[in-house]
Amino acid sequence: MRVAIIGQGYVGLTIAVGAASAGHKVVGFDVKECLVSQLNSGKSHIEGISDSQLKEYISKGSFEASLDPTVLDGSDVIVIAVPTPLDEARNPDLSYVHSAAELIHNNVKSPALIINESTSYPGTLRKEIAARITGIEHLYASSPERVDPGNTEWGTKNTPRLIGGLTPAAVEKAKEFYSTFCDSIIEVSSPEVAEAAKIFENTFRQVNIALVNEFAQIADALGISGREVLDAAATKPYGFMEFNPGPGVGGHCIPVDPSYLAHVANEVGVPATFIKRANEVNLAMPAYVVKRVVAGAGGSIKGKKIVVVGVSYKSNVADTRETPAAAVIDLLRGQGAVVVWHDELVGNWRRESSSPIAGADVAVLVTKHDGVDVAAIKACGYVFDCTGSIAGVDGI
């Protein structure tokens, strides 16, 4: 099939490579000039897609990136994989989805299957995409992406894929497309069910992470190890699922998607109280970390040199979107500490560069990448571990 993918970020490039691997002819459309030329030179910008994979598909003619919206026309399948962030008031910002719909409306003159993979609330495919594309009888399906960047066990191929279409023909065509590179396809009765399933999955994680974050604070105040309690509870073979406490939640999904559900809940007059409370607990975790660091480091961190280790939002990825490390660093600085950070995967961030670990009075481990120098962390005067991975030091 001729496949066009709008947006070449984490999701769009992953699907582009999945589709190219199945022999489709893929064009990755993006509005970022530097990204398009980087991809066409065979350089991947995401973990999980190697430069050699990209070069192979470029040389076979099965992948190219483009800035030209006219490439969308003539596609059998058009996949939308654009950002769905929150605006300043923490409400859904669908401007990228709208611009993708507008691109299709203005450029695509022959009928295609249009699939939305961007995460959004139920009703997005029908009301925010299909309703904005007029004049041509396209097919429409929703197949929310579940990719977990950096996860080597679960990828595009073996993660079951949900599909909901506006019509049976759209479902059939979407199944035909995804079954060429996904092992398991699950058809649901409408796009709204698929859209809601995705945001509920992430809300489930957000709420459970908040619950263990609150529990970690209770356990610490009781003088017991919250992590030991969670491990003990996890020995129950049914009815319990272990989540880990940490410095908060980051990335494009967990801190954002539940607010999309809260938004529609509000519109239909149902208060999403769990989501609101979970946001409050998770957003307060950096302040809790800093309170513990101040106490553990002797009551004051004024003038102390602190290294924050790992600033991406999770292990072994370079993604710093919504990372709780930002608030941890700002709050430590607010208490007069001299703060640097160390993260060789991230390298440069907020106009600062990664610094060595050695020589700090205090080390705060926020995210642990494989290969980080644990001995150097332990050599710092005081260590606070938000990841539960260094035995015998303070932490959550």
Q: Give catalytic residues, as residue numbers.
A: 253
26 token code pair: 């893929």
Hey, which residues between 196 and 255 contact ligand NAD (CB under 6 A)?
252-253
Binding mask 357-386 for ligand NAD (x = CB under 6 A): ------------------------------
Is residue 164 classed as helix, strand or coil in its secondary structure? strand
CB 213 within 8 A of CB 255: no
Q: With respect to ligand NAD, which residue has the nearer C-beta, 100 or 182?
A: 100
Q: With CB under 6 A as the contact rule, which of the stretches 9-17, 174-182, 279-287, 356-364 interacts with ligand NAD?
A: 9-17
Query: How much of the chain is helix, strand and coil, in % rounded to 5?
Result: 40, 15, 45
Binding mask 134-173 for ligand NAD (x = CB under 6 A): -----------xxx-x------------------------
Maximum separation of any 2 CA atoms in the chain, in Å: 69
Contact pick of 83, 165, 248, 286 for ligand NAD (by CB under 6 A): 83
Contact pick of 35, 54, 72, 182 for ligand NAD (by CB under 6 A): 35
Q: Cα(306)–Cα(380) distance, rounded to whole angstroms?
A: 9
Kindly state whether residue 121 participates in binding ligand NAD, applying the rule CB under 6 A: no
338 token code pair: 């001299």
Residue type, 266: N
Contact pick of 20, 27, 82, 340 for ligand NAD (by CB under 6 A): 82
Contact pick of 91, 99, 184, 353 for ligand NAD (by CB under 6 A): 99
Hey, which residues between 278 and 307 contact ligand NAD (CB under 6 A)?
none
Q: With respect to ligand NAD, which residue has the nearer C-beta, 32 or 277?
A: 32
Please list, residue by residue across 196-206, b when 16 or more beta carbons sit within 10 angstroms of its beta carbon and e when fewer do: bbbbebbbebb
Contact pick of 75, 118, 156, 367 for ligand NAD (by CB under 6 A): 118
CB 341 within 8 A of CB 329: yes
Q: Which residues contact 84 (CB under 8 A, 6 or more apart)?
A: 92, 93, 94, 96, 97, 118, 119, 120, 256, 260
Q: Which residues contact 299 (CB under 8 A, 6 or more apart)?
A: none
- What is the separation, in whole angstroms, between the first and last Cα of the chain? 50
Contact pick of 9, 123, 150, 155 for ligand NAD (by CB under 6 A): 9
Contact pick of 54, 75, 92, 96 for ligand NAD (by CB under 6 A): 96
Q: With respect to ligand NAD, which residue has the nearer C-beta, 68 or 330?
A: 68
Contact pick of 21, 62, 75, 119 for ligand NAD (by CB under 6 A): 119
Instruction: Report which of 174, 177, 206 is spatially closest to residue 191, judged by C-alpha positions.
Output: 174
Q: With respect to ligand NAD, which residue has the nearer C-beta, 25 or 146?
A: 146
What one-character-per-residue DSSP string does 141-156 give? EE------TT-SSS-T
Q: With respect to ligand NAD, which residue has the nearer C-beta, 254 or 297?
A: 254
CB 83 within 8 A of CB 47: no
Phi, psi of 182 (to 5 degrees): -125, 140
The residue ranges that bind ligand NAD (CB under 6 A) are: 6-12, 29-32, 35, 81-84, 96, 99-100, 103, 118-119, 145-147, 149, 252-253
